[in-house]
Structure 1
């Protein structure tokens, strides 16, 4: 399959770089400054087990339809990116977004149709360093994907294409629930770390910290329950493990905030607050985080 990655930041650069290294036919659609940096340094992945450098194929404008398009941009950049992407999506293209929250699914279905828009969930701790290289912060690198409704004969081919590339890849028949599972986790950790301006471990060691974290997790979980996507099983266990850790666990939103960068406050926190209002669920802690992040965004 011909694969196009829209974006070559921490997420797109990591998964697209691994696929390139494994010999897959991967192209990156990026802005000119990023293209120049990749031409200069190559695509470098600095992982706990060593460094990998690949020479990626890079374009700044779509050059025709692809079989698989992976969208790996921040949620606030999605709408502009979709306009750029239109020539790359053909009648049988599969579009897999690796974005946070849920709102982007509606945008993709509206733009490309339910037969081409799938769901995607990635779990990875990664960032870009000052050189523009991808830094994998832990061994977590999981990717799941699947059609939004029912079966699709293309799932076998897509699974074969994304498997065996040095990360955990899995086809999902419940991708919408997985999107909600990740949303609740990210909203909890993101709201906690940005509201308290510190990592989860530090919050747990502070007076009232554990009670605050459990109350926040109860709020986000209640929203998912009211929306018909209750957090259960492994997802609930991951959420619990995330809020009781004594390690310096942060969130991508916190890392962006401390660097003075734009944050995905709307897609991760704001949309969940709106969902809570829709179902009349009280979320005072989540609302406080949303307000704080809105004030921060005004300073940019």
Structure 2
């Protein structure tokens, strides 16, 4: 199985690196600077599930056409989706499956429109990771899950083969028949945590230490779950309970990637996650005040960032 991973950052670097570590045929589609770093030092992962350092295959954009790629893993930010599509377009062949690991759910239809539904898998990752200035991938918590599946619910040969390639000791890989439901569950969780954490500029544990903080997180979680239900994806009570319990943990250091981007003054996925959730709130005529406040807060951040006012 020939696998192309777009990017070798925190997400693509971790999961692609673990595939390479297990002996899979993996190539990283990267820019010139990242290619030079990987050539000089190999791909380096630091994780409680075991460190890894080793050489990996890389390619630049003009080098991927004509290869019969079985799977292309997209690990880009949601706001880079259009450019990512153009980058991988020459690499998508008659039997290629595109596996996006982007946040949110809106991107799936866009990819279907471009490549055709049979070429696009649903997917999500549950991990906190980052790449530092030296190109080292740091895995920052206990989460190391990647979940994917066919949009029509089949457990196909290609998803079964892909699941088997991931090393079980460092990746929890799951091929599932209900991938869109799983994506909605993550969307609800991520919109909740990213929304409140970015509004408060604090970790989940820090918010929980403030009177009313836990209650605010739970209220926003249930509001987002109501949106999912209205869209035909009711969130299981067991899933909601897990996060209600989590939101009581005053020592939890969980900082979502959106807040980490804000704290580094980088572009963030506010519109793609919270903007989309707000649009759905309005579509279903639900109470929009908190969603509007959070979205406006992130829009204002982007105005300041683009003006260089930090």
* TM-score using structure 1 length: 0.95
List alignment gaps of at least 5 residues for structure 2. Answer: 306-310
Distance 1:223 1:231 in 2: 10
- The more displaced of 257-266 and 178-187 is 257-266
Give the structure 2 partner of residue 201 of structure 1: 205
1:282 aligns with 2:271: no
List alignment gaps of at least 5 residues for structure 1. Answer: none
Q: Give the conservation status (yes or no) of the 8 Å contact 1:201–1:245.
A: yes
1:181-192 mapped onto 2 (5 Å cutoff): 181-192=185-196
Distance 1:224 1:242 in 2: 20
Distance 2:212 2:296 in 1: 21
Distance 2:273 2:228 in 1: 13
Describe the SS at the equivalent of 2:28.
Answer: strand
Distance 1:128 1:112 in 2: 30
Question: What is the root-mean-square deviation in Å for CA atoms of aligned residues?
Answer: 1.5
Describe the SS at the equivalent of 2:261.
Answer: helix
Give the structure 2 partner of residue 6 of structure 1: 6
1:55-204 mapped onto 2 (5 Å cutoff): 55-61=55-61, 62-64=64-66, 65-151=68-154, 152-162=156-166, 164=168, 166-204=170-208
Q: Of the candidates 265, 269, 279, which is equivalent to residue 270 of structure 2?
A: 265
- Cα deviation for residue 163 of structure 1 reads 5.5
Describe the SS at the equivalent of 2:265.
Answer: coil
Q: Give the conservation status (yes or no) of the 8 Å contact 1:44–1:54.
A: yes
* TM-score using structure 2 length: 0.92
Give the structure 2 partner of residue 297 of structure 1: 302
After the TM superposition, which parts of structure 1 deviate over 6 Å for at least 4 consecutive aligned residues? none
Q: Give the conservation status (yes or no) of the 8 Å contact 1:3–1:25.
A: yes
Distance 1:52 1:35 in 2: 18
Q: Give the conservation status (yes or no) of the 8 Å contact 2:49–2:170.
A: no
Pairs aligned (count): 300
- The more displaced of 22-31 and 125-134 is 125-134
- Cα deviation for residue 235 of structure 1 reads 2.3
